[in-house]
Amino acid sequence: LPAVKIDMKGGGNGVVQIVSPSYDHEEDDMTEETKDANRITKLTIQKGTIPISLTMGIYDNHKILVDMTREEEVVCKGVVTVVVTTTGEIVSLTKCGGLAMSPEDMAACVHLAIGRAKEVEELLLSLDEAS
């Protein structure tokens, strides 16, 4: 997996740097400019727009289990993954498994995902302030 660095300085705008792995056998045919372009990709992002995912398992009369281990996932009757931004925008919602979910259970999953997204954003901002 490539290394990722997030810089949130500048009034809420951020830059994500993705450092791509390089392979010696491919670099022989590349110019220096191409090598540099393949190593680092910069994306500008706005604070509040970073998508954060949360996976939850549904088991035993619609109880919700967050961030399951492999063993816990096996006993769940269904799995829900919600991807949201810290502003509450739902980017993606996926449900796998045969257990039917009530609208209240689905809303609870979305609420938990938004809470996790805010926690992750606060962590990212505190890490950036410390550097």
What predicted TM-score, i.e. pTM, was given to this entire model? 0.65
Asked which of 26-30, 56-60, 112-116, 118-122 is least confident by mean pLDDT, the reply is 26-30
* Tens-place pLDDT, residues 83-99: 998 888 999 999 998 77
pLDDT at 8: 55
pLDDT at res. 61: 73
CA angle 81, 84, 89 (to 5 degrees): 135
In angstroms, the Cα distances linking 10 to 24, 47, 52, 117, 128 are 36, 10, 21, 21, 11
pLDDT-based confidence at 23, cuts 50/70/90? very low
Residues 121, 3, 17: CA angle, nearest 5 degrees: 65
pLDDT at 36 over 60: no
* Percent of the chain scoring above 70 in pLDDT: 60
Convert the chain into a string of H (helix), E (strand) and C (coil): CCEEEEECCCCCEEEEEEECCCCHHHHCCCCHHHHHHHHEEEEEEECCCCCEEEEEEEECCCEEEECCCHHHHHHCCEEEEEEECCCCCEEEEEEEECCCCCHHHHHHHHHHHHHHHHHHHHHHHHHHHHC
2-23: average pLDDT:
54
Q: What is the mean pLDDT of residues 32-37?
A: 53
Question: Contact 109/90 with Cβ under 8 angstroms?
Answer: no
